[in-house]
DNA sequence: CTTGACCTTGCCATCATGGTAAGGTTCAGC
DNA sequence: GCTGAACCTTACCATGATGGCAAGGTCAAG
């Protein structure tokens, strides 16, 4: 069978040689055979798997998810429901992330719009960032119930 | 002046003690004074800066960008244009990221929609992932011009 | 004095990827 | 046959922002 060395496998799959070795190390790829001198040898099937991994990465799947996907891919008796479940799960993750970024974007857009952007120092952006309340996370600021060991604020600083 | 130890500063600012130390280490926060026993002491102003940093993080700014923002914040003679420029730049980054995620999402959605999701193994999702062409990046697959040292594919593998 | 909650430093782990260094292998051209 | 370029190997460090743990010191209250 025709085999490729790691560089050619990299070019054929779009995965860098570095990452191919990495995938082997973490067990995502099987350990491939070696030439007598220790060079890795990749079959067309190996390259195929590398492309599968590459495509999965391009869709934003994590390595953990890709491990599962590869497992299902190789199992010709998998139920497609399992694959679909992984996809749906990942769509939800993407949605979550997109929503977060869009929230940031909206806030920034509002602030940037309010900022003159000239030579004067007045800036609503900085003002908002400097505001005392904790905004984005569930708005719990400095006002908490007292805890133990209230501290005496030792004033004798050294240096 | 009333000062807080790192735990109280953390609670007051929403930044973990761990990260407060980290910010100090990387030079984002100034080195604060210490008690005789080595405890860090935080003034209200320090806490204010921590909140500024926290807010900036919440908007997705990188540490590098936050360093710049903090610099502008402290410079009362800054031109607001510089702040606005940073914001605009970050909005562009967010847009970029959002677009990437939305592209992934759209592809996944399409695939998931095409997948039966039942007990049968047939699955368009896996089929697309296993396709030979390199999709998402500029579609250059295995077809490249020959390079040097075409390789003889040494067949004598050991073990 | 003990206890427990805090502080200190330092190191390791994440996740996917890039870089570099030091050394061995292969091959094309001379 | 030799040399040099282009490749391969392993091993380590770095990123960015954060979390975790361990070992030891400190502080306040009982």
CA of A120 to C1' of C15 (A): 42
Higher pLDDT, B14 or A148: B14
SS3 B111: helix
pLDDT value at A72 more than 70: yes
What is the share, in percent, of chain A residues with pLDDT greater than 70?
A: 82
Instruction: For residue A144, name the pLDDT band (cuts at 50, 70, 90).
Output: very low
| Residue B104 parent element (H or E) | helix B80-114
Contact A26, A62 (CB under 8 A): no
Q: How far is A101 from A42, CA to CA, in rounded Å? A: 40
pLDDT value at A135 more than 70: no
As a whole number, mean pLDDT of residues A118-125 equals 94
pLDDT value at A39 more than 60: yes
CA-nearest of B86, B81, B18 to B50 is B18
Comparing alpha-carbon positions, the chain B residue that sits nearest to A61 is: B104
Judged by a CB distance cut-off of 8 A, whether residue B80 touches chain A is yes
Contact A11, B144 (CB under 8 A): yes
pLDDT 10s digits, B80-127? 999 999 999 999 999 999 999 999 999 999 999 999 999 999 999 999
**pTM over the 0.75 mark:** yes
Contact B119, A81 (CB under 8 A): yes
pLDDT value at B137 more than 80: no
pLDDT 10s digits, A9-28? 999 999 999 999 999 999 99
Structural tokens at position A105? 């974007």
Instruction: For residue A134, name the pLDDT band (cuts at 50, 70, 90).
Output: low
* Residues 46-65, chain B, touching A (beta carbon < 8 A): 47-48, 51-52, 54-56, 58-60
pLDDT of residue B72: 95
Structural tokens at position A92? 């939800």
Residue B38's nearest nucleotide, by CA–C1', is C8
CA-nearest of A112, A123, A57 to B61 is A112
As a whole number, mean pLDDT of residues B65-81 equals 94
Q: What is the DSSP secondary-structure string of B48-67?
A: HHHHHHHHHHHTT--HHHHH
């Amino acid at each position: 069978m025709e085999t490729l060395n790691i560089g050619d496998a990299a070019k054929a799959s779009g995965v860098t040689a570095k990452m191919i070795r990495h995938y082997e190390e973490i067990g995502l790829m099987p350990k491939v055979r070696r030439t007598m001198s220790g060079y890795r040898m990749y079959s067309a099937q190996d390259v195929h798997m590398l492309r599968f991994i590459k495509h999965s990465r391009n869709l934003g799947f994590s390595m953990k998810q890709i491990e599962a996907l590869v497992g299902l891919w190789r199992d010709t008796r998998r139920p497609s429901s399992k694959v679909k479940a992984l996809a749906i799960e990942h769509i939800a993750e993407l949605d979550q992330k997109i929503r977060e970024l869009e929230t940031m974007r909206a806030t920034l857009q509002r602030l940037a719009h309010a900022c003159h952007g000239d030579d004067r120092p007045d800036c609503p952006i900085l003002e908002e960032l400097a505001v005392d309340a904790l905004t984005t996370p569930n708005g719990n600021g400095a006002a908490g119930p007292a805890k133990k060991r209230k501290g005496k604020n030792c004033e004798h600083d050294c240096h």
